[in-house]
Structure 1
Amino acid sequence: MRFRSALDDPAALDRALAWPAEGPVPPLPADRVREEFAARRMRPEWTWFAEDADGRMAARALWWGRADSERPVALDCLQVSPSVADPAALAAALLAAGHAAFGKRPGHHLSLPRGWREDPAVTGAVAWRREAASRAGLTRGIERLRYEWTPAAGTAAPTGRLVFREGTDEEFLDAFARLSRGSLDLATRHGLEATTEERLAREDLAFYRDCPGERSWWRLAHLPDGTLAGMAVPSATPYHRNVGYLGVVPEQRGKGLIDEILAEITRFHAAEGADRITATTDTVNLPMAAAFDRAGYEVTEIRLVLEAPAAG
């Protein structure tokens, strides 16, 4: 079996894009893939496939990144031909080839329907992908709820319980660090296993500054007496407005203030004319999921993220 990127053969890209858009874990249709290539969020050097001895394509992997990314951010699509006897082994080898070329191991993001565990075809398709990812070093799994708000859900009026204001980067660094303490967010908890609060805060600030949203959108949340309560970081993806980051400092949790902060983000995006706001939270983060439910956000899919453990 031969593993290579579409960069090695211009004609190979068309063959890779011709893969049927079908399967228990739905792949991206060809027109969507072409849109991603046009926007440089997918690229020939990030498109890898396996060929058998006769030159037939047996597997493909499509990695995704931002338009200005030097290296891919995530594996968006992984497929193996139904004729392959051991799809996990072939997929693992394909991922290893891509990782070696990238010099990193981007996580594999699978978009799954709600209740996916009740469908044997889907669970089987997830199982071999999970096994392949694990063999390639992506041994940690996080299951997330993908939420969506539309104008039909409406927005909540301000209650006056919190005051929102702009802040300096240093103030936001302090807020990021404080919010990480006792967080139920798995990415945050995993990050703190490998680094300090301060370093993780700087990574979070850099990440959200690099997102398509504007830094000027960010707000610190205070009680009327000036006590810091949390922060709201409205953001965006290349496709939609996004909730981004929000949270309440440990000493103010359990008072319903997360609803106030989420409402502020929703109002902000709605006032800007957003017809859709997306958000995600871990399935184990029950308080955050409940806040989205109360705010009229609806779960549209399950996002399974398979990633490499953070390096200490």
Structure 2
Amino acid sequence: MTVVRPARPDELPALVEHPDDPERNAATRAYLAQLLDSGCTRPEWCLVAEDGDGRPTGSVVLWTLPGQEVPLALVLFEAPRDAPETAAALLDAAAAEAGKLGATELEHVVDSPAQAPQFQRNPENRGELLRASGFAVVRDGRRFVHRSPGAPDALPADDPRLTFRSLAELGRGPFVEALAELLADTADARLAADVRRHGARRAAELLFEETAELKHEPGWWELGYAADGTVAVISLPAENPAVPVIGFVGVTPAHRGKGYATSVVVRGTRILAAAGATEIRGDCDAANVAMARAFARAGYVNFADRLEFARAL
């Protein structure tokens, strides 16, 4: 019989360790310690499954942005491959706890190939376990990284066709308007689903609000205007709790096919590099071929694929 309970103090931050995998153990231990220190999780959100003899057999941890009280996702999901009932018990317990705290949806991402800090090996099996517990794929994504971008003047120059104006200058309204225009014709499956659910305007407001929860300066966020005075691109670079990120970038429908996707990725990269970033990450939907090419042209490397899952609560 599987019992799921909060982790005991002596089990943190290690949770379930693999005796033959010291690299994984060290990375996940450090990751959970960082999550606890930053407020992305708390001890009572760290759940452990144990068997009838009281031996830990699996774990799952609820996650949110620093300072938030409602869980948004789960991380460090571990369960034996031959024990689907343990996986189901952990996922159901995490969902129940998140629901009590006010969450209406719970997310989880599966990256491949397996890598630090979560080492999500056997991604196909993980996907099966998630689907069996009511999770569905909401996005098939590609992850990119730019390591050691260097000083801003070492990066490609800004596109001379674009004139940039910041959030500090313009305020929120023009940014939401540009996002609504973009989202009405987006190649991103998750954002397209938000548009179907809420309409383009409300989906734009939600995207702006969600991205604004990441650490950023108003001067970092910009709209890029073409020579005719219309908005061509939007750039929302930021820092998540782990690493600087491109956040959200996009090209308005009227200006696609002109090479602006690369220009806006370069612009966000320059801003983060100027703020001291030594590694920058970004992602896009696998269907958004133009944006994937833009990341590559801006010096980014596709280091992983990411399936994003969600379960309604």
Task: Give the alignment of 1:1-312 within 5 angstroms.
Answer: 1-6=2-7, 9-13=8-12, 17-20=15-18, 28-81=27-80, 85=82, 87-103=83-99, 104=103, 105-113=105-113, 122=121, 125-151=122-148, 154-166=154-166, 167-308=170-311
Runs of at least 5 residues in structure 1 that lack an aligned partner in the other structure: 115-120
TM-score w.r.t. the length of structure 1 is 0.86
Seen in structure 2, the aligned counterparts of structure 1 residues 285 and 90 have a Cα distance that, compared at 3 Å, is: same
Seen in structure 2, the aligned counterparts of structure 1 residues 165 and 191 have a Cα distance that, compared at 3 Å, is: same
How many residues align? The count is 295
Checking the alignment, whether the CA contact within 8 Å between 1:76 and 1:110 is kept in structure 2 is: no
What percentage of aligned pairs have identical amino acids? 29
Runs of at least 5 residues in structure 2 that lack an aligned partner in the other structure: 115-119
Question: What's the CA shift string for 1:24-60, capped at 9, x where partnerless?
Answer: xx67521332222122223222211211121111211
Question: What's the CA shift string for 1:209-230, capped at 9, x where partnerless?
Answer: 1111223311111112311112
TM-score w.r.t. the length of structure 2 is 0.86
Whole-angstrom distance in 1 between the partners of 2:190 and 2:277: 27
Whole-angstrom distance in 2 between the partners of 1:110 and 1:46: 20
Seen in structure 2, the aligned counterparts of structure 1 residues 89 and 296 have a Cα distance that, compared at 3 Å, is: same
User: Which stretch of structure 1 is more off in the superposition, 151-160 or 50-59?
Assistant: 151-160
Checking the alignment, whether the CA contact within 8 Å between 1:220 and 1:228 is kept in structure 2 is: yes
The alpha carbon displacement at 1:291 in A equals 0.4
Whole-angstrom distance in 2 between the partners of 1:243 and 1:207: 14
Whole-angstrom distance in 1 between the partners of 2:254 and 2:66: 39
Whole-angstrom distance in 2 between the partners of 1:151 and 1:98: 37
Whole-angstrom distance in 2 between the partners of 1:207 and 1:141: 17
Whole-angstrom distance in 2 between the partners of 1:152 and 1:267: 8
User: Which stretch of structure 1 is more off in the superposition, 146-155 or 241-250?
Assistant: 146-155
Partner secondary structure for residue 175 of structure 2: helix
The aligned amino acid for 2:4 is: F
Structural RMSD (CA)? 2.4
Seen in structure 2, the aligned counterparts of structure 1 residues 21 and 268 have a Cα distance that, compared at 3 Å, is: farther
Question: What's the CA shift string for 1:160-200, capped at 9, x where partnerless?
Answer: 11110122211111011001021111221111121111111
The alpha carbon displacement at 1:258 in A equals 1.3
Report what 2:117 is aligned to.
none
Which 4+ residue blocks in structure 1 deviate beyond 3 angstroms? 9-14, 151-154
Whole-angstrom distance in 2 between the partners of 1:21 and 1:301: 26
The alpha carbon displacement at 1:134 in A equals 1.4
